[in-house]
């Protein structure tokens, strides 16, 4: 009996121990799962934290880059080499003058630039612009009518050397407009493009309005004097700045001479020369300071010049008008341009 009781007690203890082990194992398993879940949550939190930091860092870097760009731009603006002019407007022969630095738009000299002037042959800058923008083929052949020459002879207009009834390419006529200031070239191209010089003048005035030349009005293509044909030095500088954006215009305006193609009346062609370079003294021509431009003269306009110079990699435009003299005197408009460009100080 006692042996049976002891056996039953041992069996109960073994069951109790086994139950306790199972409970302990369950507790350990629960703790293990809890630990895994905790570790997983910690990792997720860290990744979110790191992601947030990265986003902030990226934003900070972007802001820093923007700040650096702004700073660099501001530095460039501040470090733009200043330009001054070592000459006074009162030192000029010309009654009106306007000098602009195209890179910055700065006005470096202003002498009556808003006063009305007569542009004379500076008009041909606008004539050339309208031709270039309204003709698709510069190799097009243009006939110079006999009738138009009668009026040009009567007004003693300057001519390039083409003859009544001659057929010439538009390109050669364009050189004739700008270099020797040929009125027959202007009228011939005006008739070809617009049907008449009056119609061509309308195109000139539309372009002037488009460019903001508020104090300018044209009545002809050559610049022959007319009370209703006027501009200002500031307006003319605005026109020259626009014209120089056209590579063909710039090439022509800076050419010293040009030989034309053969025609029925000139089998060997003709060679036309730039009146600007022809008006220079040897010293001015050899200096190379004046790159190109367009001269002008009538008794009412005086000697005038719309010129440009490329100095230190920059383009400067000077328009002068109202200088005393004529074709037979010293060329005071050219002397003024040489003095002004030479006086630029960097």
Q: Which are the catalytic amino acids? A: 121, 124, 181
Residues 189 and 304: their CA atoms lie apart, in Å, by 24
Residues 307 and 339: their CA atoms lie apart, in Å, by 13
Residues 319 and 100: their CA atoms lie apart, in Å, by 9
Which of 124, 163, 172 has the alpha carbon at shortest distance from 144?
163
* 296 strand-pairing partners: 304
Which of 260, 329, 277, 337 has the alpha carbon at shortest distance from 305?
337
Residues 329 and 332: their CA atoms lie apart, in Å, by 8
Residues 269 and 259: their CA atoms lie apart, in Å, by 7
Residues 96 and 119: their CA atoms lie apart, in Å, by 11
Q: How many CB atoms lie within 10 A of CB 205?
A: 17
Residues 209 and 218: their CA atoms lie apart, in Å, by 11
Q: 46, exposed or middle or buried, with CB in 10 Å at 0-12, 13-18, 19+? A: exposed
- And the tokens for 246? 């056209």
Question: Which helix (DSSP H) or strand (DSSP E) does residue 223 occupy?
Answer: none
């Amino acid at each position: 009996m006692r042996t049976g009781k002891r056996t039953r007690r041992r069996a109960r203890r073994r069951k109790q121990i086994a139950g306790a082990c199972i409970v302990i194992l369950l507790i350990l398993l629960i703790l293990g799962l809890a630990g895994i879940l905790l570790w997983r949550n910690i990792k997720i939190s860290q990744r979110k934290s790191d992601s947030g930091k990265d986003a902030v860092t990226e934003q900070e870097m972007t802001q820093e880059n923007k700040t650096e760009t702004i700073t660099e731009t501001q530095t460039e603006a501040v470090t733009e080499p200043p330009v001054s002019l070592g000459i006074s407007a009162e030192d000029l022969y010309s009654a009106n003058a306007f000098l602009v630095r195209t890179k910055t738009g700065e006005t470096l000299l202003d002498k009556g630039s808003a006063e009305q002037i007569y542009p004379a042959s500076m008009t041909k800058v606008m004539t050339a612009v309208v031709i270039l923008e309204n003709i698709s083929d510069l190799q097009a052949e243009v006939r110079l009518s006999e009738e138009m020459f009668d009026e040009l002879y009567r007004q003693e207009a300057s001519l390039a050397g083409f003859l009544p009834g001659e057929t010439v390419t538009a390109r050669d006529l364009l050189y004739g407009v700008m270099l020797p200031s040929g009125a027959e070239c202007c009228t011939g191209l005006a008739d070809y493009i617009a049907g008449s010089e009056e119609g061509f003048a309308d195109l000139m005035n539309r372009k002037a309005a488009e460019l903001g030349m508020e104090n300018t009005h044209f009545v002809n293509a050559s610049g022959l004097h007319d009370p209703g044909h006027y501009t200002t030095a500031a307006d003319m500088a605005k026109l020259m700045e626009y014209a120089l954006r056209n590579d063909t215009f710039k090439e022509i305006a800076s050419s010293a001479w040009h030989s034309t193609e053969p025609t029925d009346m000139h089998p060997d062609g003709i060679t036309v020369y730039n009146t600007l370079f022809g008006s220079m003294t040897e010293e001015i021509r050899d200096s190379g300071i004046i790159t190109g431009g367009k001269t002008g003269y009538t008794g009412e306009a005086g000697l005038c010049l719309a010129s440009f110079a490329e100095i230190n990699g920059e383009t400067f435009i000077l328009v002068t008008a109202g200088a005393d003299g004529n074709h037979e005197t010293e060329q005071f408009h050219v002397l003024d341009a040489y003095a002004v460009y030479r006086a630029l100080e960097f």
